[in-house]
Amino acid sequence: MRTFETAGRFLGSLEERVMEVLWRSGALAVRDVCTHLKGKPQLAYTTVMTTLDRLFKKGLLEREKDGTAFVYRPALTRDDYRRRIVESTVTGLMARSTDADPVLAAFVDAAAEVDEDNLKRLEALIAERRRSGK
């Protein structure tokens, strides 16, 4: 099964346009998606059908038979899509960043496990400072 990470990394411009149409309209058959896609030249039915099939295989669309044709609907909302793209991008970024060659400067280490006693000691220090108005 394809992961969303794959989808996030390889979504092309036509795929994004098709997703936008389905997010706006909900469930649509291939012909209806063709009608909603604006721009010239008009896209071929088979091109749109292939794109929808690809998005289905990437896990971004669900589909069900309606007579002889498939009706497609988004498998996730636009916000969920953006959220997952962000997370897949950050995962890729972190994976590339190594101890020898860090490619980002983080405020704190996102993967760090913290010694609870140490945290409590530091929190007590902060509270003490705040009491003294600093």
Partner 1 sequence: MTSLGALVAFGLLFLGVSLGLSLLLNGLLFVFRKTLRRQGAWVERQAAQAALVLPPLLSVAVTAVLAAQSKLALAAGADHCLAHGHHLHLCVQHNAPWLTQPWALASVAAAVSFLVVRFGLAALAHVHAQRAATRLRSLGAPLAEHCYLVPSDAQFAFTAGLAAPAVIISTSAWAALTPDERAAVLAHELAHLEHGDLWRRALLGLAASLGVPVLAARALRLWELSSERVCDRRAVAAVGRPSTVASAILALMRQPPSALAPAGAAFAAASHVPERVESLLLEEGGGERDAHRLARLLLAASLVLGGVSAVFAEPLHHLFETLLG
Annotate 105-122 with b (16+ C-beta within 10 A) or e (fewer).
eeeeeeeeeeeeeeeeee
Cβ-Cβ contacts under 8 Å for 75 (sequence gap 6 or more) = 59, 60, 61, 62
Q: Cβ 133 to partner 1, closest distance in Å? A: 9
Enter the tokens of residue 23: 């997010």
Binding site for partner 1 (CB under 8 A): 79, 82-83, 85-87, 89-114, 118-119, 122-123, 125-126, 129-130, 134
Query: By C-beta, is 1 or 100 nearer to partner 1?
Result: 100
**Shortest Å distance, C-beta 97 to partner 1:** 4
Taking the complex as a whole, the smallest distance from the CB of residue 131 to partner 1 amounts, in Å, to: 10
